[in-house]
Amino acid sequence: MPIKFPFSRRRAAPADAWTKCPSCDHQVFNRQLDRNLRICPSCGHHFRMSIGERIDLLLDDGSFEERDAGLESVDPLGFTDQKPYVHRLEASQVKTGLREAAVWGLGRIDGRRVAIGIFDFRFMGGSMGSVVGEKIARCFEAALEERIPALVISASGGARMQEGTLSLLQLAKTTAPLPHLDEAGIPFISILTDPTTGGVLASFASLGDVVLAEPRALIGFAGARVASGTVGEELPEGFQTSEFLLEHGFVDLVVPRTELRATVSRLLQLLPAAPVASDGGEERAWGPIGVLSGFAQRLGGAVSETIGIDASTTPTDGNGTAPASRPRRPAGERIADSGPSERPADSGPSEPGA
């Protein structure tokens, strides 16, 4: 009969003390994972982060001011699948401590003010319903009103099916402010994390002036099997990863989490919000060509000659500030001749020796 001791020096570890990496199957101690920005020390897999962790990662300490924290979803359709929609909302609120799948507010990155929206995939898969769409739209509107850059970190499965057509309307609501930001010269930086799919990707998330992505993030409109069946052919392996999308021009840069804050800070320095012109109009300070011009001004004339862009500070046509337009001629008015024409339009063939 085995001897039973009243105590043992070896204690069983709590079940939630370790996390198994889905990429390399390595067991990672949770405290080590938190210290490493939730990146697997063995293979570099980027685990998903909560809203609070994203705020601590990107923003200056104590600078975040949440807006519209009291907005909560309702059940306008009385939707029920395996359980009522209101019960799913309550369960997600208890699980995450959040009211919704996204928050937005104002903060600072290295002292520069930004309007920021952040998704949390733990809340019903980060799905975008009426409240989430309203928050993202208000984030863009605040950026326009305050004339500060907009930044959105997406982690979503798409539109929230429990709200039906109302959730699909959020695609239009969230993209509507973006042309106004573009006209005002206010940058929008979109950061795609694992996963960013469905209606979120099909709307504002893919329309940033700069689109960043974390390594190996799942990015796509529909699942791989659905996409392959829709086009009727076998798609390449990994076609929905951030690295594949970078190679094909959908993503501007894949940034490891350890370098994300520094990268965003540099972008904010290179893409400042356009100042308001003295005549009351908005002076656009940047654009695809304007950014290259800015590089040329910072790095000197040698770079200017290499890329073929004038590094002078005089506004030019294109994406910079356009010069004053020429007065429009009245209809029917002909251009005055600047000199004798070489050959009148109504003259016949010239004779030999003429």
**Tally of CB atoms within 10 A around 201:** 21
Mean pLDDT of 319-330: 45
Asked whether residue 332 carries a pLDDT value surpassing 50, the answer given is no
pLDDT at 228: 85
- Across the chain, mean pLDDT equals 83
Q: Which two tokens stand for residue 255?
A: 């940034």
pTM, two decimal places: 0.77
Nearest CA to 60 out of 105, 92, 94 is that of 105
CB of 161 closer than 8 Å to CB of 88? no
Contact at 8 Å (CB) between 163 and 76? yes
DSSP 160-177: -GGGTHHHHHHHHHHHTT
Assess contact for 160 and 169: CB atoms under 8 A: no
Per-residue pLDDT at 141: 97
DSSP class of 278: T
Instruction: Give percent of the chain above pLDDT 90.
Output: 68
Distance between CA atoms of residues 163 and 219, nearest Å: 23
Given a cut of 90, is residue 63 above it in pLDDT? yes
**Nearest in space to 250 (alpha carbons), one of 264, 240, 258:** 240
pLDDT at 276: 78
Tell me the Ramachandran region of residue 212: left when phi exceeds 0, alpha when psi lies from -120 to 50, beta otherwise: beta
> What ranges in the chain are assigned the alpha helix state H?
30-35, 51-58, 85-96, 130-146, 165-175, 178-184, 198-201, 224-231, 242-247, 260-270, 288-299, 301-307
Residue-by-residue DSSP string for 130-153: HHHHHHHHHHHHHHHHHT--EEEE
**Encoded tokens for 53:** 């962790």
pLDDT at 175: 97
R_g of the chain, CA atoms, integer Å: 28
Helix (H) or strand (E) holding 254: strand 253-254
Q: Whole-angstrom Cα distance, residue 120 to residue 67?
A: 16
Residue 16 region by backbone torsions, left for phi larger than 0, else alpha for psi between -120 and 50, else beta: alpha
280: confidence class by pLDDT, cuts 50, 70, 90: low
Domains by residue range for the chain, with CATH:
16-47 (no CATH), 48-270 (3.90.226.10), 287-320 (no CATH)
